[in-house]
Chains A and B, each alone.
Chain A
Amino acid sequence: MGSASIAGVGIIPFGKHPDKTLIDLGAEAGYRAIKDAGIDPMRIGAGFFANGMAGRLFGDSTIGQNIFWELGINKIPVINVENACTSGSTAFYLAYNMVAAGQVEIAMVIGAEKMCVPQSGLINSGETELDTRMGLIAPAGFAMRAARYLMEFECTPEQIAMVAVKNRQHAGLNPNAQFQTPLTLEQVMASPMIVDPLTRLQCCPIADGASSVIICSPDIARRIRKPVHVASAILCTGSYGNHQDMVVWETDARGCRLAYEKAGIGPEDIDVIECHDAFTISEILHYEALGLCGPGEGARVGLAHCMGEDKAGGLKIKQNRTAGFMYFPFFIN
């Protein structure tokens, strides 16, 4: 199996874009990625468009083909990827594998979401699955993880909520972030309760946004100004077996382990992490699944970072400045 590199990236500011269609959003991000990579779009061999909600919200299907055509790209294979919140990562995973397998020299991923519309509701999985019809919504699953985490470990709701304070600090440094003003812990705790114990400012908001990544073969990477080698890309699915353990996130830990193995590194080798933070508790659980600290230590790590300590749990942790998704909103991309 060969390898692949990132040749260019593009992103648009996240927020409300009522005058832009989904196609506008995706095309702009794609345009920026093409300019960043400095490649001729005619050389792109496959396109992957990631989106989770447009089918449900607008009845859109095969909209990826429209978006790529806005960039003059057509006739190549285009795959529309819907994998809920993991649509973007899945599209990246597919594009990476296609290039690494030598099927194409350059693949392009565009992800776009338009959620700031009246018909958006809380995220659930539709009308077919039993749990969904019983009333399970995505935020409730995370809230239950938080409730169990608080019960199993010496951790306070405030320690979990500090993740939001930290991420707002980071968002203030990112011009593409939807919300950039700092928050205090008091403001986070005082925001309305959404799903006990998570208050609104501990939950990702909705937004409109798009981003794009161009992936290329090692040959092409040699001619790119600043290629970024992809060490590994992993996709896995959770288990439907019993019991559900809502604190030790088996799927997460398994995915991280596979990624480390494939990349030939461990948590001690990581310098910068861009950590998904759909909810405060999910970022904390990701620290633990990543092996940055032990079970139950994730909240302390976040708090330590906020207080300016460089080391926590014995590991030096630097977080990058995109503020994750909470203020650079995660939605489905």
Chain B
Amino acid sequence: MGLPTKDNIQPFAPDIFTLPPDNETQPVLLGGFCPECRDYFFPAPRFCPECLGRIEKKEVGSKGKIYSFTVVRTPPPFGLPSPYGIGYITLRQTGLRVLGLFDPEDIDELKINANVALSVKPLGCDKNGLPQLRPCFALETDKE
């Protein structure tokens, strides 16, 4: 089965990640930034939890290290692949530790402290069975 094109498939939630038009540009997670407190948040809250000020939408990172992970081997929710990998990733750009799926092709190679980079793939589906795009982190291989 060929890969569906990204422009046919809806993101599972709005404003969580950028959707670059080509496969060369790195997608990025979108979160929030409080200009008063100078803090980043993911996902973007409605108000800054510290000062209740208005939040600016900002990119919060696309690369990081695996903090912890697991592989879920029971029937998955939302039509996710079975098994699927999920974990927490500490983002290099802002230091935020975020929950993220892992690229299904990497789940047997995951290790704590491995470097990963954001990708966007059709993972899971909505209530009508239509595929949805979810962000996932793929292991970075050392490039020569």
Contact = CB atoms under 8 A, between A and B. Distances in A.
B63 to A, nearest CB: 17
5 contacts: A134-B86, A134-B134, A140-B70, A196-B70, A242-B96
Contacts of A131: 99
A148 interface: yes
Given A134-B99, A134-B134, A242-B95, A148 B68 contact: yes
B97 A243 contact: yes
Given A133-B13, A144-B69, A195-B71, A121 B112 contact: no
A292 to B, nearest CB: 24
Interface in A228-267: 240-244, 246
A1 interface: no
A240 B13 CA distance: 20
Interface residues of A, number: 31
Interface string B92-112: 000111011100000000001
A315 to B, nearest CB: 28
A86 to B, nearest CB: 21
B97 to A, nearest CB: 5
A147 interface: yes
Interface string B53-74: 0000000000000011111111
Given A139-B72, A151-B68, 5 more contacts: A121-B77, A144-B70, A194-B72, A241-B49, A242-B97
A143 B71 CA distance: 9
**Interface residue range, chain B:** 20 to 34
Interface string A106-140: 00000000000000011010000011111111011
Interface in A142-174: 143-145, 147-148, 151
Contact of A194 (B13, B67, B74, B86): B74
A305 B75 CA distance: 35
B35 interface: no
A192 interface: yes
Contacts of B75: 121-122
A244 B101 contact: no
A193 interface: yes
B115 interface: no
Contact of B84 (A121, A122, A135, A244): A135
A285 B11 CA distance: 37
B88 A244 contact: yes
Contacts of A136: 86, 99
Which 4 interchain pairs have the tightest Cβ spacing? A143-B70, A144-B68, A148-B68, A196-B71
